[in-house]
Amino acid sequence: QQQVKQSPQSLIVQKGGISIINCAYENTAFDYFPWYQQFPGKGPALLIAIRPDVSEKKEGRFTISFNKSAKQFSLHIMDSQPGDSATYFCAATSGGSNYKLTFGKGTLLTVNP
């Protein structure tokens, strides 16, 4: 019940295309859903996050879509650029005294020039 399932495992997109990464969860107590971006040799960095009271959040070219009834959320990267090539992790937490941030397995995104 604590799992977050992420797909696809890897994704290749042409420059200018749309990258879409999907995540699904089971625990209805989760109330905060961040996405992290990790470049090779670096630690993960918070990219964008959403709470279940909204269905969409956009920051620049990055958008999270959230479907509470389906217990799914996704990251869309518009106008993908080679500099976006990285591993992306979705995560979820119920916060409070639950200190655990549950991560998906990650998606390796490659954006070809």
Residue 57's Cβ-side half-sphere holds a number of Cα atoms within 13 Å equal to 17
- Number of residues binding to another protein, judged by CB under 8 A: 29
Nearer residue to another protein within complex by CB, 33 or 80: 33
> Judged by CB under 8 A, which stretch of 13-21, 54-62, 67-75, 86-94 contacts another protein?
86-94
Q: Cis peptide leading into 52, omega within 30 of 0?
A: no
Instruction: Calculate ∠ Cα 85-88-93, nearest 5°.
Output: 165
Q: Note whether 106 binds another protein by CB under 8 A.
A: yes
Round to whole Å and give the CA distance between 60 and 38.
18
Q: Which of 18, 46, 54, 78 binds another protein (CB under 8 A)?
A: 46
What 3-state DSSP class applies to 83?
helix
The verdict on 102 binding another protein (CB under 8 A) reads yes
Taking the complex as a whole, the smallest distance from the CB of residue 18 to another protein amounts, in Å, to: 25
Structure tokens given for 49: 């996050």
Chain residues in the site for another protein (CB under 8 A)? 4, 9, 32-34, 36, 41-46, 49, 89, 91-93, 95-106
